[in-house]
Structure 1
Amino acid sequence: MNSKLHIVVRVDLDHARAKVIAKGHITVHSVNALYVVAKRANSLKEGLDLELDISQAFVDEAALEMLRTASETRHLPTRIDPLQAPCTISVLAPRRKVPAAATRLAA
């Protein structure tokens, strides 16, 4: 498994949509990179609908909970966005568990 996080952003300003596609391993530390990208995309246009596609990523449970919280509150964490601009995030696809072998290798 590749532990690097790869992020691609697709933006459609005419329809006020952006899609952030993440591949790799999303941890409680690397989720901050997704937040920063989401903040930058969100700043492009007011009322932007932001989809976060993690269907091809391995997501730690704690990181997934953090993403769900941002989706439910419609705000990014204060440390990422101190002004707390509204941010409509939809998290796509359920989490895929990290293979046990990869967890043992990391320890």
Structure 2
Amino acid sequence: MNSKLNIVVRVDLDHAKALVIAKGHITVHSVNALYVVAKRANSIRQGLYLELDVSHAVVDDEALEQLQACSQTHHLPALIDPYQKPCDISVLAPRRRDTTSRPELLAA
């Protein structure tokens, strides 16, 4: 998988929805780029429902926690949006891979 972050935005003004699709590797540093795009999409129309689709990205745990916190508080981080405009945001999380477990060796 490419580590470069690729973001596509699809907006449906008739239904007041925006879909932000991210692919690549999302880290605690690159998540800020995603926030900036989400802020711009959120500014298009008041009451816009914003869905962040990171299901095709590799997302570091800390970055995913930050995205989920935004979803729960309905605000983007203050560093990105100092005015704290309400943001109805939902995160479509990546498929989880269990990287902590290793196959057990069978004793003969």
- Identify the residue that residue 31 of structure 1 maps to in structure 2: 31
Following TM superposition, by how much is the alpha carbon of 1:96 offset from its aligned partner in structure 2, in angstroms? 3.9
Following TM superposition, by how much is the alpha carbon of 1:95 offset from its aligned partner in structure 2, in angstroms? 4.7
Report whether the alignment pairs 1:43 with 2:43. Answer: yes
The one-character-per-residue Cα deviations of 1:26-80 (angstroms, maximum 9, x if unpaired) are 0000000000000000000000000000010000000000000000000000000
Report the TM-score when normalising by structure 1.
0.88
In structure 2, relative to structure 1, the CA distance for the partners of 1:2 and 1:91 (3 Å cut) is same
More helix by share: 1
Whether the 8 Å CA contact 2:16–2:49 is kept in 1: the answer is yes
Following TM superposition, by how much is the alpha carbon of 1:93 offset from its aligned partner in structure 2, in angstroms? 2.9
- Identify the residue that residue 8 of structure 1 maps to in structure 2: 8
Structure 1: which amino acid aligns with 2:11? V
- Identify the residue that residue 72 of structure 2 maps to in structure 1: 72
Structure 1: which amino acid aligns with 2:77? P
Following TM superposition, by how much is the alpha carbon of 1:98 offset from its aligned partner in structure 2, in angstroms? 9.5
Whether the 8 Å CA contact 1:57–1:96 is kept in 2: the answer is no
Aligned residue-pair number:
100
Structure 2: gaps (5+ residues): 101-108
Report the TM-score when normalising by structure 2.
0.87
Structure 1: gaps (5+ residues): 101-107
In structure 2, relative to structure 1, the CA distance for the partners of 1:99 and 1:25 (3 Å cut) is farther
